Chains A and B, each alone.
Chain A
Amino acid sequence: MPATTATTVDETKAPYLLDFRGVGRRFGGTEALAPCDLTVRRGEMVSLIGPSGCGKSTLLRLSSRLDQPSSGEIDFRTDSVGYVFQDATLMPWRSVRRNVALLAELAGTSRAATTEAVDAALATVGLTDFADHLPRQLSGGMKMRASLARSLVLRPEVFLFDEPFGALDEITRGRLNLVLMDLFLEHRFAGLFVTHSVEEAVFLSTRVLVMSARPGRIVEEIEVPFAFPRSLDLRYTPAFAELAGRVAKALEAAS
């Protein structure tokens, strides 16, 4: 798919990759996710924000087919899904390079192609010099970079992020937000990004979905019109503050 040259994404024209139609999920007696509709298109970065336990992770697992809905249906237009968890979930016995190669290896990619893709991914996240280190030798932020690189290797069309930077300090989080934005601009995947941080949600995404407490439902949808690429300074502009305020208020009302 050719990337659009415009810096803003015209969502209405891009084909959708995921379409939820009345999708709900119960676990025994508890309703984790109330039936919801959601369409995610290529070139969109959709943030999900909501109180703890409101079904955000459940929604991501459904989007990846790790879990099946108990009602409604999901129209998948792609098989290519990347998933990044809050924990870096690296294999402690493998070097960074071999960790990043994991998914390509499991997909049966040829050795030469894997090496090339791994080198590229490592360069993108800035870990080239640490390729032969073990995960335990890395900082939390570097581990998360490795985790991003691992998912990046297969160039997923749908990219799912479950609070990937939740455990990192503010500075590291800001840096990784920029890394992620670069990835987004370069690859134009469809992103679903779960976060607890209003600022991060507004900064990264084209659209913010606010979810209510259990049973989780999408109660508010807020478009984020800022042009890409965005710089971290955007966070200190009045327009940004205004939008972040709206999200924060919606979140408060939903909790």
Chain B
Amino acid sequence: MTALEPTPAAPVLPDPGADAPPSAARPSRLRHLAAVLVPPLLVLAVVVVAWYVVSLVVLDEREAFLLPPPHELWTDAFADPEIRADILDALWVTTQTALIGLAISVAIGLVLAVAMARAKWVERSLYPYAVFLQCVPILAIVPLIGFWFGYEMFARVLVCVIISLFPLIINPLQGLLGADRGLHDLFTLSHASTWTRLVKLQLPAALPDIFVGLQIAAGLSVVGATVGDLFFGRGAIGLGLLIQRYSSRLQSAELLATVLVACLLGLVVFWFFGALGRQVVGRWSTAWGAS
């Protein structure tokens, strides 16, 4: 995938409202869909045209292999049953790794966030390391992880967890701590237990932020899964390893096709968790499209 620099995992809020489902006030579903789809499609068209120009006009015969024209991604890669099978197998390996890594990150992240929200000293003790986690140059420690833990699933999942954990601590924590003071007072007046307070107040209040974290982490986890096996260079073949292989054999159409698939995987998980967030909290959370 694209991230060969340290990952910018700041807990920024993507704007899920931008592509929220149309409310009753909108003129029509169709027009809304067009408004959402047309601009990016125009950009795509411009990119494809520029791509053709570069590969057919700018590059001469000897350099043409650097950037095959877009349709060759189809003819040389996706339409070739063998290549397609290789890409799909690798996609499956990477997807599995990313989702397992994400699931583990969610579990660890939520537990840590709740512990940090519960006790100031836990927050003080762990926060620096959470930030450290976020600053770890993942490429620098991937070889180390392989060295310690081998090159199979466990090590790859570990890379995913390291890269995707931060937003799953920081966003839920912010949500848990952000519950309304007045509501807290009402719980205090009712002599509610800390458990009740957590379940009935803090967790529901944190849901919008939890989904923001989930959405960011899902994309990062795909990056982790790809980068992990690209660098391990051994074991089951995921997208990273496949990219490595095509790149060393100068199979540029296959290479670009695989990169494209990796990007699409990232997009799909990002979109999926966005849709899930809108489904779960979009009814009431203004951050998730409620008006």
Contacts and interface: CB of A to CB of B under 8 A. Distances in A.
Chain B interface size, under 10 / 10 to 19 / 20 to 34 / 35 or more: 20 to 34
Tell me if B's interface is mostly helix, strand, loop or mixed.
Answer: helix
B234 interface: no
A92 B285 contact: yes
B204 A66 contact: no
B204 A93 contact: yes
A103 B190 contact: yes
Interface in A72-103: 81, 83, 85, 87, 89, 91-93, 102-103
Contacts of A107: 190
Nearest to A135: B284
B127 interface: no
A180 interface: no
A171 interface: no
A136 B182 contact: no
Given A93-B207, A136-B290, A83 B189 contact: yes
A135 to B, nearest CB: 8
A92 B281 CA distance: 10
B92 to A, nearest CB: 37
Q: Which of B190, B192, B207, B285 has the most CB of A within 10 A?
A: B190
A134 interface: yes
Nearest to B185: A66
A64 interface: yes
Contact of A106 (B180, B185, B192, B291): B192
A83 B183 contact: no
A93 B284 contact: yes
B182 A85 contact: yes
B183 A89 contact: yes
B23 interface: no
A65 B283 CA distance: 36
Interface string B196-231: 100011001101000000000000000000000000
Given A85-B182, A87-B182, A136-B290, A92 B284 contact: yes
A81 B196 CA distance: 20
Contact of B190 (A87, A89, A91, A106): A106
B41 interface: no
Contact of B183 (A64, A91, A105): A91
Interface of B: 180, 182-183, 185-190, 192, 196, 200-201, 204-205, 207, 281, 283-286, 290-291
Given A87-B180, A91-B205, A103-B190, 12 more contacts: A64-B189, A66-B189, A83-B186, A83-B189, A85-B182, A85-B185, A91-B204, A93-B205, A106-B186, A106-B200, A107-B190, A136-B291
